[in-house]
Structure 1
Amino acid sequence: MTTETKKTVQLPPGPSEKFDLNTTSESFDKVKALVADFPDICRVQSDTRQNDSYLVNNPDYLKHILVKNYQNYNKGLGFSRVKMLLGNGIIVSDGPFWKRQRRMMQPSFTRKVIAKLTTQIQQCNQKLFTDWSKKANLNQTIDITQAASELSLEIVLRALLSDDLDTLIEEQGGINPFEFLTDDFTRDIKVVLKFREVSKLLLNIIHIRREQQPERVDFLAMFMDSRDKETDEAMSDKELLDELMTLIIAGHETSAITLNWTWYFISQHPEVESKLHLEVDANVTKNSVPQFEELDKLPYIKQIVDEALRYYPPVWLFTRKAITDDYLGDYFVPAGTDIFITPYFLHRHPDYWSDSESFDPERFTEAAIKNQHKNAYIPFSAGPRRCIGDFFATIEMQIHIGLMARSFQLEYIPDIPLELEPDVNLRTKHPILMKITNRK
């Protein structure tokens, strides 16, 4: 006689009120309240959706969703409006197509390849350094939000297109056709029209490269040369376009937002600023852009960036959808369940982060990292779908801070209230203004 053991169907706890969760600012306060009452997981019932939503904030459950059983979870809610702009790029694609694209693109994001692309990062920062030097000599104010956005955009464009960016700007009468991405109105759906315009320009570059086959050291060249190991297929023009648009938007937004917050935190914590100055003074030649191989001598900069990403992760909430029935611990997850994951609140979970509202780069020393729960820190997500450009973004920010902190001091000007705007990305509602002076 055999006894068949069935797992008890247990659903997560949750509020009695029915409502919809979304990846927009309207949901921020709701998520905050839910996490306060249900720190690890909760079930939210909906009047309008076919399936319930689970808000998952436990790193062990997240490891299951994002790492161990990631194949059972598609991208889910929140990506439809992104897909409207980015096509079927690596951020929004799913299934076999996503696996193919990831296989083809991953070799372009190794440490060895990124090292070759740091020249473009250095050149963009050198240009900004010249501008900041002029402003510092006059004790002027800089809009760090705008400056970080413009810098990050130029870096990602040059990493993708190299010299073709200059040709593009020249053909547009000296205007960067992607400049609109640094403006506030990009939050309006009308931006779709602008995306169509720049998509045509990028397709033209792809066509010219196919015809002329110029030598280039950039991501587009690597993507065009890449072949799928399983089928030996190359990417089509449309696939290349979708990946370019995806990396332009994702790469620009992540670095811009993080640099914006990083300079703010440095200015607000004299002890952090002092330790940063000691590090760069000892390891960075004044007026000189740090080289890739020198970054290992600047661990504190990396700690500052990591802590800024913990405190204000660029994407405060993202989603998955269960494909088939599953379990998170003892909790049953029916097929079709919408999963909401919130790095912002995970990075404040009291079981994994002490005094989480304080800014403390010491959380990210080598010794401290060994004691962290690996999946309690996910500014770039986790698992096979972790952000493909995370290393590039980190290197970009380290080089920038190393150069600028060696020569300048930025002082926050609190004339405009500092407010969060948690839409798709965790922006500031108003620009952060700073007074720039030369360090003595």
Structure 2
Amino acid sequence: MASHNTASRSGGDTSPTNSATHSPTIPTPSFRLPLLGDLLSIDVAKPVQREMQMARRLGGIFERKIIAHRVIVVSGADLVAEVNDEEKWAKFLGLPLRKLRVIAGDGLFTAFNSEPNWGRAHRILGPGFSQTSMRGYHESMCAVVDELLTSWDHAAESGEYVDVGRSMTALTFDVIGRCGFGYDFGSFTRDAPDPFVGAMGRALEYVNRSSNDIPLLRTLFGRARRAQHDADIALMRETVARIVDEREASGDRRSDLLDLMLHTADPDTGERLTRESVVDQVLTFLVAGNETTSATLGFALHFLSSHPEIAAAARAEVLDVAGPDGPLAYEQIGKLRKVRRIVDETLRLWPAAPGYFRKVRADTTLGEHAMPVGSWVFVLLPQLHRDPAWGPDPERFDPDRFLPAAVRERSPHIYKPWGTGIRACIGRQFALHEAVLALASILRRYEIAPDPDYTLDVHEAITLKPRGLRVRPTRV
């Protein structure tokens, strides 16, 4: 996950100031106000999309200033390649991720570089995403996908539309719950959603809004929302603590992430995760594992419903590899190359995590701009993924951009939906396997028609998601 637009993204391991942003050669938005800076450029609801507009106008690097806070936004391919240099730059924890620490503590994505738990958890959990482990998760993933298909069958029979956001959230919550922690949220069997689901959605919305608004106004008028936010965090942490306690009390041993957290020692230090750290890591995966994959599936279904010829070609591939019915085997997922390219192209246009922060390790430069120690930047992924290096018409949905020959011709630094460096997303193979399996299963079973009155509305709440998206499934 990553941050959104606002100059109040300052802070981090040592809360450095962005002293390099005083360079007069870095473009800035128009109509900068005395004292208030670029206050007129704030879009609390859609900060990332506002920054994309600015990048199109100002170029691959620009500076924003809100009152006393500055941020440099980078999206040019050559500049991002420099920022991704691990010898000169490192991960920086921006304000939205720091705000998530009240939920996930020093989990894998919210830990400062100087904190030991992220490295310990990374080493302990690495085997949980090996090929052997992924094979073990496959059957549980298939079971949840079957429940999704059953729910869509009712809509297909009656000719109704399905709420894509709700369906994909239910799918991914149940997948990460069952595969990772042996917990069933029952999203397709309960009469009402698990309270955890609503609490998490509200909490992420609050983090996004409070990272992109004016603190004084939030203090004056946001007391009710803050109280709800505190209650949501408490519910989430209590739920996860109960999951952990029940597993420990049962004495069960399972081949999942929670078992690794509870029973595996760090191979480097011999230390195990504390109970508090286990709770933090479980929350990290429930938030990140759900949000990123559900968002990707939602955008992919939007594109497939809008491009029936691409959907038809992918369906033909699935039928050729797996036949018209029966479970998709683990080995078959890797053969669905057209479906995988659909996922990759979806992540190019609308990566679930809209960006990541980087800070300099020592005095350096970025392009022609001096970057002394304490400088940091935000990499704006949706705009990087629309860089001219992608060729003509980068706004067009075209999975063939990910044909092997095309991939070989491009710099790897212009496609970073999972972040970069040693702090990149540990669960990306899990997410990709889940996404390909789900899309392949849907395409094999249904033709997907769009709502003719719908225009893509990208909602921002830490991750990017299509809001209000409906499709109408028809059995093939």
- TM-score, normalised with respect to structure 2: 0.82
Instruction: Return the letter of the residue paired with 1:195.
Output: I
Matched to 2:247, the amino acid is R
Which whole-Å CA distance do the structure 1 matches of 2:66 and 2:445 have between them? 54
Report the AA paired with residue 236 of structure 2: V
Correspondence for 2:155 among 130, 135, 143: 135
Q: CA deviation at 1:336?
A: 2.5
The answer on 1:54 being equivalent to 2:72 is: yes
Distance 1:204 1:73, change over 3 A: closer
Q: Secondary structure at the match of 2:295?
A: helix
Partners of 2:187 and 2:168 in 1: CA distance: 22
Whole-angstrom CA distance in 2 between matches of 1:379 and 1:344: 9
1:344 maps to a residue whose letter is P
CA distance in 2 between counterparts of 1:74 and 1:115 reads 34
Alignment equivalent of 1:202, drawn from 237, 240, 251: 240
The question of whether the paired residues in 2 share the 8 Å contact of 1:54 and 1:340 is answered with yes
Alignment match, 1:19 = 38
Match of 2:102, as an amino acid? M
User: For this pair of structures, how many residues does the alignment match?
Assistant: 426
Distance 2:254 2:42 in 1: 41
Distance 2:252 2:57 in 1: 58
Residue 332 of structure 2 corresponds to 294
Change (3 A) 1:12 1:302: farther
Native 8 Å contact 2:181 2:258 kept in 1: yes
Any conservation in 1 of the 2:91–2:357 contact (CA below 8 Å)? no
Correspondence list, 1:195-274, <5 A: 195-274=233-312
Asked if the contact 2:177–2:286 (Cα under 8 Å) also holds between the matched residues in 1, the reply is: yes
Moved more, 75-84 or 178-187: 178-187
* Residue 16 of structure 2: aligned partner: none
Matched, 1:36 2:56: yes
Structure 1 residue 299: deviation in Å?
A: 0.3
Distance in 2 (CA, whole Å) between partners of 1:174 and 1:411 is 27
> Which amino acid in the other structure matches residue 375 of structure 1?
H
SS at match of 1:120: helix
Aligned counterpart for 2:452 among listed residues 406, 414, 428: 414
Unaligned residue ranges in structure 1 (runs of 5+): 1-8
Query: 3-state DSSP class of the match of 2:326?
Result: coil
CA distance in 2, matches of 1:11, 1:223: 49
Q: Secondary structure at the match of 1:165?
A: coil
Shift of 1:22: 8.1
Output the CA distance in 2 between the equivalents of 1:306 and 1:35: 23
Aligned 8 A contact 1:295 1:399 in 2: yes
In structure 1, what is the equivalent of residue 105 of structure 2? 87
Q: Counterpart in 2 of 1:101?
A: 121
Question: 1: CA distance between counterparts of 2:192 and 2:459?
Answer: 32
| 2:358 aligned residue | 320
Cα shift readout 1:23-79 (whole Å, capped 9, x = no counterpart): 954533542343124433233345312xx4221123343344334237644223332
Amino acid at match of 2:261: F
Shift of 1:419: 1.7
8 A contact 1:53–1:337 mirrored in 2: no
Secondary structure of the corresponding residue to residue 107 of structure 2: coil
Residue type at the aligned position of 1:260: G
Q: 1:66 aligns with which of 74, 81, 84?
A: 84
Give yes or no for the alignment of 1:156 onto 2:176.
Answer: yes
Counterpart residue type for residue 63 of structure 2? R
> Identity of aligned pairs, percent?
21
The RMSD of aligned alpha carbons is 2.9
Whether the aligned pair in 2 keeps the contact of 1:74 and 1:323 (CA below 8 Å) is no
Once residues 117 and 339 of structure 1 are traced to their aligned partners in structure 2, the CA distance between those partners, rounded to angstroms, is 37
Aligned partner of 2:371 among 316, 323, 333: 333
User: Shift in Å at residue 422 of structure 1?
Assistant: 3.2
Change (3 A) 1:119 1:105: same
Q: Which of 145, 162, 184 does residue 165 from structure 1 map onto?
A: 184
